[in-house]
Chains A and B, each alone.
Chain A
Amino acid sequence: MRRKAIFIIPLVFIFAFATAAPAKTKLKFFYPVGVAGPLVKVINGMVEKFEKENPDIDIEPVYAGNYNQTMQKVQTAVLGGNPPDIAVVEISELFSLLQMDSLIPLDEYIQQEGGQTFLDDYYKGFLGNAYGRDGKIYGFPFQRSTPILYWNKDMFQAAGDKLKAAGLDPDRPPKNWNELEEYAKILTIQEGNQTKQYGLIIPGGWNDWIFEAFSRQNGSQLLKEDGLTVTFDTPENLQALQLWVKLMQDLKVCPVLRPWNITPDDFIGGVTAMMYYSTGGMAKIRKTAKFNWGAAFQPAGKQYGTPVGGGDFHIFKGIPKENQDAAWKFAKFMTTPEMAAHWSIESGYVAVNKKSYDLQNMKEFLQQFPQMTVARNQLEYAYPKMMAVNYQLIRNAMTTNLDGALEGKKSPEQALADAQKLMEQAIKGQ
């Protein structure tokens, strides 16, 4: 009898403690970092702040690599029956996640917050990639961007005489494709067989994204909004690709396929006078560039135009209801005016919440760094980014063929036709 008691007493204690302590909701949160810069620290700091305000919720932030790797990790986890509670993935992936029936719609939560009036606080341009084909909302904007043109003002000044001689203004960046080419030519410095300074970098890795922008600027697109009709091989897109090939292969004013992550280092290191890059990389440039630099709209073709970019929050199926509720709480917290402003200042992404821009600290910050308003203002010309099931396969078809054309291994015509064919196959699942 006494022996039994020895076992039972500790059990009673354990049970008592277990029930007395408030049960914490534990959330697994997968997120990517898609630009150069130490953003993991920023996210972890925001998570800590949320946990302090919500002691009953415990968040385990999992840095899952770049966008591709994060999507792979999420998909594998979903298939393994062990989905994260909340994750940020690249916005084009939504249809794949829906195909796997892995997400819950957020409409009910949004209704509770006030429905349309609540949504109106967020930039409409960033909600275009949030809806499924059923009209329900499955994503909530978080780290959102557009690509912009960064330019090194000092280099423009140094080449001032030459620029003026060519009828170009050294005090402003190029405004259209023709000017882009002219500026890039003059700003390239060649010494023997070494290029001392490039006029321009259009980085590889995400060149499909930048290419989508060029396509929009020329009045075309890569894939229709239905996610089914491929329009990669159009005369407008051919023109855009021919321009790229000219810049890289004929004029050699832009290096071929400069890796995405080191391109900001090239800009900071004075290797190039201009670069196309996400606004999300701006904090790094702001903190480390030792020269005067500017940011501008991407030069126009027939018109200004760009896809939006970045990642949205998604809440997953197959987890307890209280986890989903807590996940929504977290998503909402991360996009309050204060937090969205903090995130924007620390990273360079656009604050998704319009009210962020009314905050005093944000106003002061923008006064100091007006470059930070460029991507937001460019939203006026922004379109939703392309979305399709099997997006990873489609993206692979695009980058592989763009790479082939830019390295001069394929004609632009061939590259567009090949990509078009592969994309159509991917969509049909052949």
Chain B
Amino acid sequence: MREKLEQYRAYLFLIPGLFFLLLFTYLPILWSTWLSFNRWNLLSPKPKFAGWENFIKLWHHDVFWLVMKNTFFFVTISIFPTMFLALVFAILIDERMKGRVYYIYSLFYPTLIPMAAAAMLWVYIYSPNLGILNLLLAKLGFPKLGWLGSSATSLWALILMTFWKNLGFFMLIYLAGLQNVDRELYEAAYIDGAGWWRRHIQITFPLVGPTSLFVLVTAIILTFRVFDQIHLMTEGGPGNSSNVIVYYIYENGFKFFDWGQATSLTTILVCILLTLTLIIFGIFGKRITYTAD
């Protein structure tokens, strides 16, 4: 009897949290999913049920496929190098190298800069004639690049900037994760004659598994939702070469005022993220080692 009561009490405590979650997360998801099956834009300002129309339109639209390609390219190219280097830097810093505080600061400060300011900074770095990157290239004898102004390089330029911005954040998470690894393991391995690489490949990498899982999921969600720097640096251009899904949603919703189209894209994004998260937890969730034994 008493246990039952305890259970009810637990639900009672959950109510406030659930209420807001419902109001600001689940209801909007349901509502926008419903809207994605409606025609609703500047020319037909009342939502009208239209079946799969929005999705069919997307299917036949080149820009949609380009945007999807850009998005997956952005995500895959940016997260793996970020994760790997974040871990390597975290290990280096963890090993009490000299002046580690300065390294932590210099790697972490981009995370502290507001994205808007960072984006403007990089607009200058990428400036074709006065920017430091092109001046450097010219000094080294390479031709200057268009960076943000060229469809061949615009996405790469954004990836590089995002890498710089996110590295410190993930490094800090790894650094925290490393504190949970038992130091005795390294000592034992050292005595057994394992070298630096061997120690880390066989001890560190597996033991930061839970952290990596967290970093992976966070990084995927963060990079899928990349928006600010694109809005500020390229507006998706030139020729949609740096347009990604969230920016495309924004364009459809607040530039072209086609809310039906915008919500159908949102539905697609929700489905992709949900599937990816389920897959990742399905594959790695059970296999991850939490302790050394």
* Cross-interface CB contact of B43 among A399, A401, A429, cutoff 8 Å: A429
Which of the segments B82-90, B126-134, B193-201, B204-212 contacts the partner chain? B126-134
| Chain B neighbourhood of A426, CB < 8 A | 256
B239 adjacent to A262 (CB under 8 Å)? no
B238 and A396 within 8 A (CB): no
Give the Cβ gap from B145 to chain A, nearest Cβ, in Å: 11
Distance (whole angstroms) from the CB of B200 to the closest CB of chain A: 43
The contact string, 1 if C-beta is below 8 Å from chain B, for chain A 376-409, is 0000000000000110110010011101100101
| B277 interfacial contact with A, CB 8 Å | no
Tell me which residues from 128 to 145 in chain B have a Cβ below 8 Å from any Cβ of chain A.
Answer: 128-130, 138, 143-144
The smallest C-beta distance from B236 to any residue of chain A, in angstroms, reads: 9
A157 at the A/B interface (Cβ < 8 Å)?
Answer: no
Query: Given A96-B42, A257-B146, A262-B127, A72–B239 Cβ distance below 8 Å?
Result: no
Is the beta-carbon distance between A257 and B150 smaller than 8 angstroms? yes
Contact with B along A113-124 (1 / 0, CB 8 A): 000000000000
Q: CB distance B42 to A396 under 8 Å?
A: no
Contact of A72 with B41 at beta-carbon distance under 8 Å, contacts A194-B138, A256-B150, A403-B151 already known: no
Judged by a CB distance under 8 angstroms, whether B148 is at the interface is yes
* CB <8 Å contact, A256 and B146: yes
Q: Which of chain B's residues have a CB closer than 8 A to the CB of A185?
A: none
- Listed residue (B57, B63, B257) with the most chain A CB atoms within 10 angstroms of its CB: B257
CB distance from B222 to the nearest CB of A (A): 24
Tell me the smallest distance from the CB of A23 to a CB of chain B, in Å. Answer: 34
> A146-154, A161-169, A231-239, A263-271: which one contacts chain B?
A263-271
- CB pair A72–B255 under 8 Å, yes or no, is yes
Residue of A99, A100, A271, A407 near B239 (CB, 8 A) is: A407
Chain B, residues 39-75, CB within 8 Å of chain A (1/0): the string is 0011111000000000001000001000000000000
**Which of A226-256 touch B at CB < 8 Å?**
255-256
How far apart sit A149 and B54, CA to CA, in the bound complex (Å)? 44
Q: How long is the Cα–Cα vector from A404 to B42 in the complex, in angstroms?
A: 27
Structural contact, A258 and B255, CB atoms closer than 8 A: no
CA distance A265 to B146 in the complex (A): 16
Q: Which of A99, A194, A204, A390 contacts B256 (CB 8 A)?
A: A390
Q: Bound complex: CA of A32 vs CA of B49, how far in Å?
A: 37
- Cβ of A68 < 8 Å from any Cβ of B? yes
- Do A389 and B43 touch across chains, with their CB atoms under 8 A apart? yes
Which chain B residues lie closer than 8 Å to A266 at the CB level? 129
Per a CB cutoff under 8 Å, which of A262, A265, A389, A403 touches B42?
A: A389
Chain B residues closer than 8 Å to A257, beta-carbon distance:
146, 149-150, 238
Say yes or no for B33: interface residue by CB 8 A criterion. Answer: no
Q: Tell me, yes or no, whether A288 is within 8 Å of chain B by CB.
A: no
CB distance from B54 to the nearest CB of A (A): 12
* Residue B26 lies at the interface, judged by CB distance under 8 Å to chain A: no
Binary B-proximity of A399-430 (CB < 8 A = 1, otherwise 0):
11101100101000000000000000010011
CB of A193 closer than 8 Å to a CB of B: yes
CA of A75 to CA of B149 in the docked complex: distance in angstroms?
Answer: 28
* Interface residue? A178 (CB, 8 A): no
Say whether B256 contacts A393, CB under 8 Å. yes
A393 to B146: give the CA distance in the assembly, Å. Answer: 26
**Which residue in chain B gives the minimum CB-CB distance to A407?**
B151
> In the assembled complex, which residues on chain B have CB atoms less than 8 Å from the CB atom of A99?
42-43
The residue on B at minimum CB distance from A430 is: B57
State in angstroms the CA–CA spacing of A308 and B43 once bound together: 27
A259 at interface, CB cutoff 8 A: yes
CA–CA, A193 and B138, complex, Å: 10
Judging by beta carbons under 8 Å apart, are A403 and B144 in contact? Answer: no
Contact, CB under 8 Å: B149 / A204? yes
Contacts of A100 in B (CB 8 A): 42, 45
| A residues less than 8 Å from B127 (CB atoms) | 262
* Residue B237 is within 8 A (CB to CB) of chain A in the complex: yes
A76 at the interface (CB under 8 A from B): yes
Write the nearest CB–CB distance from A298 to chain B, whole angstroms.
22
B111 adjacent to chain A (CB < 8 Å): no
Min Cβ gap B244→A in Å is 15
Of residues 67 through 100 on chain A, the ones whose CB sits less than 8 Å from some CB of chain B are: 68, 72, 75-76, 96, 99-100
Are A429 and B44 in contact, with the CB atoms below 8 A? yes
CB distance from B148 to the nearest CB of A (A): 7
Let me know if B151 and A429 touch, CB within 8 A: no
| B240 close to A400 (CB less than 8 A) | yes
- Which residue in chain B gives the minimum CB-CB distance to A401? B239
A194 contact set on B, CB distance < 8 A: 138, 143-144
CB distance from A346 to the nearest CB of B (A): 24
Cβ contacts under 8 Å, A430 to chain B: 57
- Taking beta carbons and an 8 Å cutoff, which residues of A are in contact with B? 68, 72, 75-76, 96, 99-100, 193-194, 204, 255-259, 262, 265-266, 269, 271, 389-390, 392-393, 396, 399-401, 403-404, 407, 409, 426, 429-430
Q: Apart from A100-B42, A396-B255, what are 16 other A-B pairs with CB-CB below 8 Å?
A: A194-B144, A255-B128, A255-B146, A257-B146, A258-B149, A259-B128, A262-B129, A265-B129, A390-B43, A390-B256, A393-B258, A400-B237, A407-B150, A407-B151, A409-B151, A429-B43
Please provide the 4 A-B residue pairs with the shortest distance between their CB atoms, ordered closest to farther: A429-B43, A403-B239, A403-B238, A393-B256
Give 7 A-B contacts (CB < 8 Å), ordered by A residue. A72-B254, A99-B43, A256-B146, A259-B148, A390-B257, A396-B255, A429-B43
